[in-house]
Chains A and B, each alone.
Chain A
Amino acid sequence: MADAVVLCTCCGAMEEIFDMAAIEERLKGGGSAPVPMCVVPRLCSREGARLAADRMRQLPPGGLVIGACAFSARGDAVMGMLAEEGVRDIPVHWADLREGCAFVHPGDAKGATMKAADILAMGLADLGRADGGAPVLRTPPHRRVLILGGGPAGLAAARAALQRGVDVTLVEKRPAIGGMLPMLRKLFPDMGSSSDMLARLDLPAGVDLRTATAVSELRPALGGFTVTLKGVKGDGKPEELSVGAVILAMGGQPVLPKGRLRYGELAGIASQMELETRLAKAERNPDDAASLPRKAVFVQCVAAREDDRPYCSAVCCPAALKNGMRLLECVPDAEVTVLHRNVCMPGRELESFYRLARERGVRMRPMDPEVPLEILEEDGKVSGVRMQDASSGETVTLPCDGLACSTPVAPAPDAAKLAAMLGVRLDDMGFVCGEEPARPLETPVRGVFCCGSVRWPCTVAQAVEEGAAAGLLAATHVAEPSATPSWRPLNVAHATATILDRDCSGCGRCLAACPHGACVPDRGSGPRRTVAVLADRCEGCGGCAAVCPTGAARIAFRPVAGVVEGLRRVLEVA
C-alpha cells in the first residue's frame, strides 16, 4: 500500500501559484513509483471530502498526506468530513501549503511550487517511517473519581462529580469532614454561619465517604490510578481501589506566627485563627466577651510577603476585617486597628466588605514594611505597638491589650507526598500547580486535578467554586473517554511515546524531560532498570524522544527517522 497525497486547491486559488504537474513530477523524484495524487477543488466541503474518499477507496493508501490550508483554518472540519466519508484510522500528515507556502511566497511561483513539493515529500517521509498503523488506544479510565480531602473544596467536588453520574470516593484523613470550616464560625462576606455552609455542602447519598482514612499508596495504572487506603472502616486492612481521576483537595494549614512579634512570649498575642475561636465562644456566650481585648491591633502579612515566603495569602485581609467587625459587635466600645501593607480585597464583593468594615469602625493604618514593629509590654502582657505609618512617615505608638497576627496559609502537610506519588510538581512554596492561566485546576498529569487551598490560599466561597469546577472536570474526564481533550491543538494523529525496552539504558533523561508524569521507572528484562511510558498520560510532546540518546524513546507518527529522511530529501546537496 503506497501512501497517497490529496491536494486541495482552495477553490482554485492554489492553482494560481502552484504548478500541480511540477509538484507531481518532483514527488516522483528518485526513480521510484509515482505517488498517487488526487487534486480536489475544495476539501472542506461534502463534495470535496467525498471525492477524496472515493479516490482513496479505489487505491487504499497506507497513509495520507493532505496538502491544504493551515490545520487551524479548516483542519477540524476536513477531518470530520473525511471520517464521515469513511476515511479514518489511517495515519494522516497534514501539510500546510497555503498559509505556510502559497500565501507567503506570492511573487515566486517556481520557488513556491518547489517548496510545496518539498513539504509534501517531508510528509511522505514522515508517514514512511511511522511505527505501526493503528493509533495507540488509551485505556478507558475507570469510572470513579477519587477526591482527597473533605473540606469545602472536596465536598463541592464530590457533589459536582456525582451529579454527572460517575462514582465518587472521598477520602478524609480526619474523623469528620468539613476541613477548616468547623474552625470558622462566621464566613465573609455576608457573615453567614459556617454550619449553614456545611449543611449546604452536605454530601448527597451515593458518595463513598471514607473518613479517618489515609492514603498509603497512589500509583498510576492502566485506566488511571490504583489507590491503597488504610482506614478505620473494615478491619483496618489496606484496601485497593481503581480510579480514573484524582482531585487533590487537601487544603491548607495556617502558619503559626512562631518567633514573630513575641507570639508565645507575652500574653495577649494570638494568631488570627486563635482569635477566631475566642470570638466564636463569645458569640455563643456573651459572658465570654469579657476576655476579648478592648483595644485590639491586628497585624497583617506576618510571615508573609517576605523573602522566605514571597506570596500573598489572599484570605488574611478579609479574615481580619471580618474578625474586626465581630469584635466590635461583641464589645461595642472596643477599638480595632488593622496594620496592613496594602489591603488585599480585590473585586466587588470584597471591596464592599472592606467598605463595610470601615463603616463599622474598623480602623486601617498602613505600616512601612521596612521598619519592624516594636511590641511594648507590661507585666508579661502586650501593652502597645510602635510602628512607622507609611502614609505620614511618623512613628506612632498604639496602645493595645490584644494583638492578633494574620499569618498566611501554607499547603497541607501531605501535599508533597501525595503529589510525588502522582508525578505532579509543586511550586517552590509547596502548592500544587495547575496549568495557569487558562486551565488552573488541571495539572499537567492527565486525570489529576487540584482545587482549594492546596492549589493556592482561597476563601471558602472560592474553594467551593474551585471544587465544583474540578469535580466537573474530573467527571468529564472519566465519563467521556473518547473525547479529545478540548485543549489539544492537534489531533490529526493520536501520538504517544513508547520506549523500546531493549534499547533503553535507564539513564533517566526522559524522566526529567516528561512534564506529564508519563515516563516512569520500570524493571526491564536486562540487569538494570529501564523506563516505560504510561500511554494514558502521554501527550505526545516529544520531550522524551528528544533527549533519548539511544532512540529507545520514540513517538508514533512523529518518527525522528521520518524527519531526518524528509529533510534529507529536501536539502539537496549540490
Chain B
Amino acid sequence: MTGKAAGLPVLVAGGGVAGMQAALHLADAGVPVVLAEREGFLGGQVFRLDKVYPTDHCAFCPVWPKARACRSHPLIRLRLKARLETVEEDGEGTVAVLRVAPDAVDADRCVFCGRCMAACPRGAVVGRPDDIPHDPSTAPRAIVLDDLCDGCGACAAACPASAIEKSALGRREPSFERIPVRTVVHATGFREPVPHPAPEFGAGTHPDILTAMAFEKLTAEFAKGDGPLRCPSDGRPAKSVAFVQCAGARDMRHIPHCSAVCCMHASKHARWLKRRDPSLDVAIYHTDLRTPGKGQEAYMRAARAEGVRFFHARPGLVAPLDQQRAKGVLLRHEAAEKVASTVVDLVVLNGGLACNPSTVDGATPGNGTDSGRPGISRACGFCREPADIARSVIQAGAVVAALLQELADCVPGDAMEASRG
C-alpha cells in the first residue's frame, strides 16, 4: 500500500448494526470511513423491530447510541440513501461506486421546524418515513414523499434554512458517486424475499398470512392502540396465532440455510402476545428449535411456562379457508405420523431470510474474517452469516481487527491529518 492510499477511507456498505459497529471500530482506530446506507436512516432491520430478545429491550435503545456516534464521529462520513453499486479495481487502487437516491431535502441543513410540512398542499412532506411503525431515525428531518409530490416548490419557499432544493423535487434518477477507497466492508444485512420462495405457505395469498417483519409492524401498531390483536383481513379480534418456522428455509428446493434468528424471534412475539392477552392461543410450529445464545434457552422455557404451545412439525400447507363459509387460516401438518388440520386466525411465517447481495469473496471458514490477501473486501453481519444483533456486533469487531492488520501502514495520526487536509 502506498502512502497515498493511507489517507483513503474504507467504505462500509450498510448502516445496520454490523455496519455501524464496523464503522465505529475503524474510526476509533483512526481510519476514515464512508458509511453508505440505502435507507434515509441508520439502523437497518433492528430499527424496524419493536422489542429484541432475550432482554426485551426496545430495539431502539441499545443501538441508537451507535447511530448517534456514527453521525457525529469526525472520521465517519455518512452517505444516506446510498447503495454500493459496484467496486472497481484499477491499477491505481479501489474505487467504490455509490448509487445515491435523489433527496430534495438536505438533511444537514434541515432544522425540522415544520414549516415545509405546513406549506405543502398535498401533505407530501412528513416528519418520518410512514412505512415503518416507529420513527427509526436518530435525527429528525423533513422527508418528501415522492409519490405525492408534484414539484410545486411550496416547501422550498417556506424553508428558512434553504434545505430544500426545488429543482430536485420529483427527480427520480439516482446520481452516482465515485469514491476512491482502500477497501470495502460489506454489511448489507438481510431481507425477506419477495415473492416468498415457498408457495405452500400461502404468503401473499391472504392478509392474515403474514411474514415475520409484517407481523412485527402489525403488533407494534397494536401496541399503539388499546384493545386486542385484530386480523388484518376484516378487523375482527384474533383469538389464535400460529407461528410457522422454517417456512421456505432449510429446504433444498428453496433456501437451504437456517436463518438463525427466527426461533427466538417467534418466541419473542409469542411471549409478548401472551403478555398482552393471556387468553390468546399462541402456537409455534417448528422443526429444530435453536436457542444457542446467551439467555435464549431460558427465554424459550419461559415462553413454554407462559402457555405458548410448541409443535414439532413443519406444516405442509397453509392456506386461507373459503372466506364465505368460515374465517381463518388452515394449517396441515404432521402429528404423530398422521396429518392434522388446525384452523387459526393469524399465521406468521418465519424463516427464509435472504442475505442481501454483497461481494463476499474468499472468506475462509473457521477463521472466516481472514482472507489472507490484502485489499480484499470483507463482510460482516447477516449478509455473511445469519446472525442476531450480538453476533453481528462481534463479527464487525473481528472483521475490523483483521482489516486493521492489513492496513497496518495506516497510522492513526496520519489518517486524522489526511482526513482534515
Does chain A touch chain B in the assembled complex, meaning CB atoms less than 8 Å apart?
A: yes
Alpha-carbon gap, A543 to B230, bound state (A): 41
Asked if B394 and A346 sit within 8 Å, CB to CB, the answer is no
* B367 touching A200, Cβ below 8 Å: yes
**Given A347-B386, A393-B336, are A438 and B258 also a contact pair (CB < 8 Å)?**
no
A476 in the interface, Cβ–Cβ < 8 Å? yes
In the complex, A465 has a CB within 8 A of chain B: yes
Q: Are B337 and A392 in contact (CB under 8 A)?
A: yes
- Which residues on A sit within 8 Å (CB–CB) of B289? 342
> CB-CB < 8 A to A12: which residues of B?
113, 160
Interface of B is mostly: loop
Given A346-B260, A471-B401, answer yes or no on A351-B113 (Cβ-Cβ < 8 Å).
Answer: no
Q: Does the CB pair B369–A439 fall under 8 Å?
A: no
A390 touches B312 (CB 8 A): yes
A281 within 8 A of B: no
Complex: A159 Cα to B395 Cα, angstroms: 16
Q: Which of the listed residues B256, B257, B312 has the most CB atoms from chain A within 10 Å of its own CB?
A: B257
**A351:B258 contact, CB within 8 angstroms:** yes
Contact B296 A312 (CB under 8 A): yes
Taking CB atoms, residues of chain A closer than 8 Å to B321 are none
- Point out the residues of chain B lying under 8 angstroms from A13, CB to CB: 111, 113-115, 160
Complex interface: chain B residues within 8 A of A350 (CB): 258
Known: A72-B139, A351-B250. A489 touches B68 (CB 8 A): yes
Chain B residues with CB under 8 Å of A462's CB are 394
Q: Which residues of A contact B64 (CB under 8 A)?
A: 489
Q: Which of A11, A44, A190, A431 contacts B366 (CB 8 A)?
A: A190
Q: Look across to chain A and name the residue whose beta carbon is closest to the beta carbon of B406.
A: A163
Which chain B positions have C-beta within 8 A of A472?
A: 25, 29, 397, 400-401, 404
Residues of chain A within 8 A (CB-CB) of B393 are 437-441, 469
Cβ–Cβ contact A192 & B113, under 8 A: no
Residues of A within 8 A of B387 (CB): 347
Distance, CA A202 to CA B402, complexed state (A): 14
| Across-interface contacts of A435 in B (CB, < 8 A) | 62
Whether A310 pairs with B257 at a CB distance below 8 angstroms is: no
Pairwise interchain contact B389-A438, C-beta atoms closer than 8 A: yes
Q: Which residue of B lies closest to A103 (CB)?
A: B114
**B120 touches A (CB below 8 Å):** no
Interface stretch (choices A29-37, A109-117, A479-487): A479-487
| B385, CB-defined interface residue at 8 Å | yes
Whether A42 touches B292, Cβ cut-off 8 Å, given contacts A310-B297, A436-B390, A439-B62, is no
Cβ contact within 8 Å between B367 and A163: no
Task: Confirm or deny: A64 has a beta carbon within 8 angstroms of a beta carbon on chain B.
Answer: no
| Assembled-state Cα–Cα distance A440/B331 (Å) | 38
A486/B257 contact (C-beta < 8 A), A346-B290, A441-B394 known? no
Q: Is A344 touching B290 in the complex (CB atoms < 8 A)?
A: yes
Interface residues of B (CB under 8 A from A): 17, 24-25, 28-29, 52-55, 57, 62-66, 68-69, 71-73, 111-115, 138-140, 160-161, 250, 256-260, 263, 288-298, 301, 312, 336-337, 355, 365-370, 385-390, 393-398, 400-402, 404-405, 408, 412
Can you spell out 21 A-B residue pairs with CB atoms less than 8 angstroms apart?
A11-B115, A72-B138, A74-B111, A77-B72, A156-B398, A189-B365, A310-B297, A310-B298, A311-B298, A313-B292, A344-B290, A346-B260, A437-B55, A437-B390, A438-B389, A439-B62, A468-B398, A471-B401, A483-B28, A486-B73, A489-B65
